[in-house]
Structure 1
């Protein structure tokens, strides 16, 4: 039952992200960098207040735990955490740019490529083993991405950058065990804010005056950043990087549906076949857990 709790949390986190375009698209008239600046700065403020006011006892315990670690382990933890902050910053900027200035489908494609990259990177870097059925699922994913790349080479290039940054983030954070996940996320987002702060006076547009802008930024910060990222890091305690990578497909499938039925973006037969293959690949990759659960219910 405990294992299924992590699966459920991972599933819900990607489900939440699937609705991100509904909050991001209304801001398409604003520069991508401005959206990134305000998103990160607000997230950092909220999380620092929570950590230093509401969760101060957890913070103290985590600091004691880090101090008790061997020096080499401390250095590795710091590198992974700060490196994760850099990867998140890059991923957010490119995703916002692609979503608002290329297309919702192009942003969806990024997270179609990401599960394949995550699975392959985890196989080589973390030595996470894959069954033959899981390799079949990876092959189906590759075929679906090839179908979606027809006549969309520019979209593929943008999507690869977005996908690679988040795939690396997932794989590197898999090793961050034993430390409070909310604290790790707070450090990463605060570090991201520090990285962006020197660029704000130079590259930001005039201060937005529309209250609607700040309303959507607050929604993005809490519902589409802090909550799903914390859920992702929590789920990684019980779900390996490869499985998390495949579950990423929930995000683009949601985006694809919204692009089709809400934003009315055009769709062709290649895309229909490709997304059908993606659904099949999710089932095939997780067949061991799906059919084990069914067997348990039958018994």
Structure 2
């Protein structure tokens, strides 16, 4: 039970931080989305190396990297995870930078439903009655939002599926969190560096002091929630992890409406209301199950 509680804590911390991140990217309007993505990859990798050295885990890291290299399936899985998270980052940054924070939040509202789908197919996790009701409500809300938009929300779909598949891989690959994240960023880093050095219109770190510092900080704000997410994925079911994620898009939606003043209709309010009702039902169902298990163990 202690491990489950740790997983819940790590999950909430990760999604709260991800919900706040749009504010960070809004501070960099002068940097293109592709440049932000590349800086995010480079500085995340350097931050992880620094973290490993400071925490004195270098020897464990090297030993685990050697094992990963010899296990081809594990190495392939980490490479796939690297590609998926890069796609997710770029789509998210592009959506926020182009003033579509609401669409970005929709992507993460879709994500738990994709988590449920993947968990039931690949992990054989069972969905409770409460969970089924919650999923139906959330799916209805997402479907209504899609209909209201009048177009297929490609960015939202890309974000939802790329991150759900990324999380599925993270749950299945048995490596330390810092090892997995460091390898992921290392795999894609050469491409990011080549772009920044030879193809970026601005040149490498050629902005003023404040934007340069923010770009360096992008590595920190990227790596920390991913570390929390990886720890959470190891400790709790993928379905529960998915529903915790609703913290993230809810924060993003609040920022989009009240801070960035993006348009918000009554139809959207009703749709999101159905999603939030689903969250409440799912939460109640899990609390009810937890109390029953606790009473059974005390008997």
In the superposition, the TM-score normalised over structure 1's length comes to 0.89
Distance 2:26 2:101 in 1: 9
Is 1:93 paired with 2:90?
yes
Q: Unaligned stretches of 5+ in structure 2?
A: none
Answer yes or no: is the 8 Å Cα contact 1:31–1:205 preserved in 2: no
* 1:68 to partner: Cα distance: 6.8
Distance 1:48 1:70 in 2: 18
Match of 2:261 in 1: 264
* 1:217 to partner: Cα distance: 2.2
* 1:200 to partner: Cα distance: 2.9
Is 1:212 paired with 2:213?
no
Q: Which segment drifts farther, 195-204 or 271-280?
A: 195-204
**Secondary structure of the corresponding residue to residue 127 of structure 1:** coil
Correspondent of 1:119 among 111, 116, 119: 116
In the superposition, the TM-score normalised over structure 2's length comes to 0.89
Aligned length: 292
Answer yes or no: is the 8 Å Cα contact 2:45–2:219 preserved in 1: no
Is 1:199 paired with 2:199?
no
CA distance 1:78–1:154, change in 2 (3 Å): same
Answer yes or no: is the 8 Å Cα contact 1:112–1:252 preserved in 2: yes
Distance 2:29 2:90 in 1: 13
Within a 5 Å distance, the mapping from 1:88-167 to structure 2 comes to: 88-154=85-151, 156-167=153-164
Correspondent of 1:252 among 245, 249, 253: 249
Answer yes or no: is the 8 Å Cα contact 1:33–1:203 preserved in 2: no
* 1:54 to partner: Cα distance: 2.2
Distance 1:226 1:14 in 2: 13
Q: What do residues 270-290 of structure 1 show as CA deviations (whole Å, max 9, x unaligned)?
A: 111122222222222233432
Answer yes or no: is the 8 Å Cα contact 1:174–1:240 preserved in 2: no
**Secondary structure of the corresponding residue to residue 18 of structure 1:** helix
Q: What do residues 174-204 of structure 1 show as CA deviations (whole Å, max 9, x unaligned)?
A: 1122x21111111111212123233334431
Distance 2:58 2:285 in 1: 38
Distance 1:66 1:37 in 2: 23
* 1:8 to partner: Cα distance: 1.6
Correspondent of 1:221 among 219, 222, 225: 219
